[in-house]
Amino acid sequence: MRTQVAIIGGGPSGLMLSQLLMRAGIDTVVLERQSRDYVLGRIRAGVLEQGCVDLLRRAGCGDRMDREGMVHEGTNLSTVNGMFRVDFKARVGATVMVYGQTEVTQDLYAAQDVLGATIIHQARDVALHDLTGDAPHVTWEKDGRSHRLDCDYIAGCDGFHGISRQSIPAESRTEYERVYPFGWLGVLSRTAPATEELIYANHPRGFALASMRNPQLSRYYIQVPLSDKVEDWSDAAFWDELRRRLPAEVAEVMETGPSVEKSVAPLRSFVTEPMRWGRLFLVGDAAHIVPPTGAKGLNLAASDVHYLFEALQAACAGDAAALDLYSDRALRRIWGAMRFSWWMTSMLHRFPGQSDFDQKIQEAELYQLETLETAQAAMARNYTGLPY
């Protein structure tokens, strides 16, 4: 089998890259380790920057998002001293779209089906070969048989634990990482959202986030120790703790109900450089991880796809030099989002050993955000998305 671009990983970044390339007349094959149902069952983020929204429309996958997604013009922040709102539209003339990553993936699959895309699921033991030579290829096992795919380029969209980044020699990549000493306990419930827009809460008991996927599906998080397990938290205990950390006027009227999904996720900041090794290009979580506080995970993957699509389109048209720019272009935006996600995480969470002084400093930071238009403009620009 042969194609122009082999894409490792059938999540939203791999599917989006395949969709854009195919619409530009460039052949692709997508290899995914899991089944389609498994990929569609993943519960992930749901806040899309304007750049991601525009890219989905460009890929021909924006119709349902435009019908069902919720445009948010701002967000709320809460401290023990009260809640305030940052108006994105007023400060920087931009908005975000609340539309779940699962929905994005469904739309991309549907669009790929229309184009007749080749997506091979349950591809096991994927290996990448001759990445710095002239004949890159991919091998894998499926249904007890060995398979080979020859290609011109390989896009590694297979996440943090995938084979793509590991295929770059350790001595040829530099990794930067910060692991945070807490996790997020997340609950998905078929309840009306607590408010029309998200609430990010700083509280002496720990961080909390009130979010949503649609008008009947809510997503909530509370900061917990890394040692906590899902089994440690009944639904009742979760709702009680969440209400303690949210503003009283919200907690008193919010709707609660049985959890549809419950999980504990650790938080880390991670970047590997460079994002290119010969004919291999890393995309999304294969190259970087952000704490979810700034809602940048899927959005950074989308900007990577944008840069790589432009580079591959140029290369397939004869301008291979465009590929040399991919890593630097992507990393410049990645580090901006890393800084923002680190700042949001540091400002809103309770750290082990944090003193009352540290808590007061966080509250002072939030007060400046509440009262200074310049501080709000900086947050709004970063939250709605730095330009591509």
pTM score of the predicted model: 0.94
Token readout for 65 is 């998002």
Marked catalytic residue, from 203, 296, 306, 349: 296
Set 12, 72, 180, 349: catalytic member: 72
Alpha-helix runs per DSSP H in the chain: 12-23, 36-40, 50-58, 63-68, 88-92, 101-115, 163-166, 235-245, 248-251, 297-316, 326-348, 356-371, 373-384
Give the position of tokens 């890159």: 136
Q: 247 an active-site residue? A: no
- pLDDT for 252 equals 94
Q: How many residues does the chain have?
A: 388
The ranges of the chain with pLDDT < 70 are 43
Q: Which has the closest alpha carbon to 293: 187, 201, 172, 196?
A: 201
Which pLDDT score is estimated for 344? 97
Known catalytic membership, residue 215: no
Q: How far apart are CA 266 and CA 349, in angstroms?
A: 13
Is 274 catalytic? The answer is no
pLDDT in the model for residue 44: 73
Which of 194, 245, 195, 249 is closest to 224 using CA atoms? 245
> Which pLDDT does position 214 carry in this prediction?
87
Instruction: Assess contact for 297 and 150: CB atoms under 8 A.
Output: no
Q: Which domains does the chain have, with CATH numbers?
A: 5-72+96-177+268-344 (3.50.50.60), 178-267+349-384 (3.30.9.10)
Which of the following is catalytic: 99, 221, 292, 326? 292
Active site residue 72: yes
Selected catalytic residue, list 99, 109, 153, 200: 200
pLDDT in the model for residue 244: 96
**Does the annotation count 200 as an active-site position?**
yes
Residues 6+ apart with CB under 8 A from 108: 12, 15, 16, 19, 59, 61
CA distance 378 to 75: 14
pLDDT of residue 67: 96
Give the per-residue pLDDT at 81: 87
Given the DSSP bridges, would you call strands 74-79 and 199-201 parallel, antiparallel or unpaired? parallel
